[in-house]
A and B are shown apart, each in its own frame.
Chain A
Amino acid sequence: MTWLLSPLPTARIAWLRILAYAFVPVDLLLNRWMFAHAQVPGELYAPLRIGRAFALPTPGAWVTWFGWALIAGSLTCLALARRERVPAWAGFGVALGWLWWQVIAFSYGKVDHDRLGFLVLLLVLPTVGRASRRDVGASEAAGWAVRATALAVVATYTLSGLAKLRFGGLGWIDGATIVQAVIRRGTPLATPLLDHPWTLTAFQPVLLAVELFVAPLLLVRWRRPGVLTGLVVGFLLFHVMTFSMLSIIFLPHCVALLALLPFERLPFRGHQVRARMAA
């Protein structure tokens, strides 16, 4: 509990709000297939449990309007975040709207697994209250928000590892899962490796070990903050590599990963002004 709630600078939250509310429109516009579901006849809609539980309406033409409303709502929050006052209800509105958008997107036969970290980030940002990039203080509320996001990011890795053990078993590590992925959707960079499949197979135990044992290191409070930054950059490079080989990028997850970085150290005009006034 001390780790979960130990204070962190509130300025971090102010930066993360800008990052998160700027990313929501990017996410929607990069995934145009989500909008395209508006044109798919309702017969092909296969609602998820959460959609059935809340009796969410069958997607139709309104989905397009919903998407643009969500973009507008998030841009409004972005503008408010730059002025450093986002009402909690607006933040929760964007978070729940984005969740609903995912439920629509994933109700046609395929669920993506790169959304947990960013979903948690959106949900915790409104719990912190006022936050300014000028703040020099810390708060327990900010500490929990960042820790909750960090837990979701790490869980994405470790639970992926556990799912491999559940569905693939220990034999997963010497299977042909990555070979199959490259056959299905390898880029010109990856397909030559099919002639040397051991290179792809050898990567599997490494991947599993990183998911299960290296990812939790993101939760450690390192005495040298550079270690954490190095880990985050390492994981980001892994996702860039996956993209270059399989053209899959877990973008929302990568944004949530950024939340672990000490944004509060970025230069901000307000700091210099105050320093001058103090002098």
Chain B
Amino acid sequence: MPLALSARGRWARAGVTVAVGGLLLAGTFVGVDDDFPFGPMRQFSTRADPDGQARSTRVEAVDTGGRVLVVPDTATGLRRAEIEGQADRFVADPSLLAQVSRAHDRLRPDEPAYRTVRVVVALTRLRDSRPVGDPVDTVVASWTAP
């Protein structure tokens, strides 16, 4: 004989299932990422225009030795997608990039510090979903240590 639940146990489980399902559905149709864990599963959900431009963001730094580096995620504790997610904040207030440099100082104390940190967007033109020509870089936010 399988072990049965009490009536209360059954109703509680059914209720929780329906409530969580409802929240997830609501999150899918009207929610945003901020509503985690109920927000919409929006990875790769926007339509990229086959005749538009593909965006690829990266963080570059110029260290105290004058070297120009593409900053890997591990050097600042911020993933590329996180930089993209907060791009508006960096554009509005580039001095916030000083904090990226500070994070690098803490995570990689043996490396030369970053004197300049910039967010670079590379745009690749698409024609009929095919990349045409080389990517064009635009610096959207830049900070240099005073």
B96 and A44 contact, CB distance less than 8 A: yes
For A184, the chain B residues whose CB sits under 8 A away are: 54-56
> How close is B87's CB to chain A, nearest CB, in angstroms?
8
- Cβ of A86 under 8 Å from chain B: no
A41 and B37 contact, CB distance less than 8 A: no
In the docked arrangement, what's the CA distance between A49 and B54, Å? 31
For A197, the chain B residues whose CB sits under 8 A away are: 50, 128-130
Q: Do A110 and B96 form a contact, CB below 8 Å, given A115-B37, A179-B54?
A: no
In the docked arrangement, what's the CA distance between A39 and B12, Å? 42
A-B CB contacts (within 8 Å), total count: 203
For B83, the chain A residues whose CB sits under 8 A away are: 109
- Cβ of B144 under 8 Å from chain A: no
> How close is B128's CB to chain A, nearest CB, in angstroms?
7
Q: Name the residue on A nearest B82 (C-beta).
A: A109
In the docked arrangement, what's the CA distance between A184 and B34, Å? 24
B126 and A138 contact, CB distance less than 8 A: no
The B-contacting residues of A in range 70-107, CB under 8 angstroms, are: 99, 102-103, 106
A167 and B131 contact, CB distance less than 8 A: no
- Cβ of B48 under 8 Å from chain A: yes
B45 and A163 contact, CB distance less than 8 A: yes
Number of chain B residues close to chain A: CB under 8 A: 63
The B-contacting residues of A in range 152-195, CB under 8 angstroms, are: 155-156, 159-160, 162-164, 166-169, 171-172, 174-181, 183-184, 194-195
- Cβ of A32 under 8 Å from chain B: yes
- Cβ of A116 under 8 Å from chain B: yes
Segment of B60-68, B97-105, B110-118 in the binding face? B97-105
A41 and B99 contact, CB distance less than 8 A: yes
For A166, the chain B residues whose CB sits under 8 A away are: 28-29, 40, 45
For A39, the chain B residues whose CB sits under 8 A away are: 77, 103, 106-107
In the docked arrangement, what's the CA distance between A169 and B89, Å? 28
Q: Do A36 and B3 form a contact, CB below 8 Å, given A167-B42, A172-B45?
A: no
> How close is A126's CB to chain B, nearest CB, in angstroms?
13
B103 and A103 contact, CB distance less than 8 A: no
For A160, the chain B residues whose CB sits under 8 A away are: 41, 43, 45
- Cβ of B73 under 8 Å from chain A: yes
A110 and B28 contact, CB distance less than 8 A: no
> How close is B95's CB to chain A, nearest CB, in angstroms?
10
Number of chain A residues close to chain B: CB under 8 A: 71
A168 and B47 contact, CB distance less than 8 A: yes
A116 and B99 contact, CB distance less than 8 A: no
Convert B22-56 into 0s and 1s, putting 1 for each residue whose CB lies closer than 8 angstroms to a CB of A.
Answer: 00110011000111110111111111111010111
A176 and B52 contact, CB distance less than 8 A: yes
A5 and B14 contact, CB distance less than 8 A: yes
B86 and A168 contact, CB distance less than 8 A: no
- Cβ of A54 under 8 Å from chain B: no
In the docked arrangement, what's the CA distance between A140 and B12, Å? 13
> How close is A271's CB to chain B, nearest CB, in angstroms?
19
In the docked arrangement, what's the CA distance between A115 and B41, Å? 10
A36 and B107 contact, CB distance less than 8 A: yes
Q: Name the residue on B nearest A111 (C-beta).
A: B33
B103 and A40 contact, CB distance less than 8 A: yes
For A1, the chain B residues whose CB sits under 8 A away are: 10, 14
Identify the A interface with B (CB < 8 A).
Answer: 1, 4-5, 7, 10, 32-33, 36-41, 43-44, 46, 48-50, 99, 102-103, 106, 108-113, 115-116, 119-120, 127, 137-141, 144, 148, 151, 155-156, 159-160, 162-164, 166-169, 171-172, 174-181, 183-184, 194-195, 197-198, 200-201
Give the top 7 A-B pairs by smallest Cβ distance, nearest first: A109-B85, A36-B77, A7-B2, A139-B3, A175-B47, A197-B129, A168-B47
**Given A36-B77, A109-B81, 19 other A-B residues pairs in contact with their CB atoms under 8 A:** A44-B96, A44-B99, A48-B33, A108-B79, A108-B86, A109-B78, A116-B37, A116-B41, A137-B3, A159-B24, A166-B29, A166-B45, A171-B47, A172-B45, A176-B52, A176-B126, A183-B124, A198-B129, A201-B129
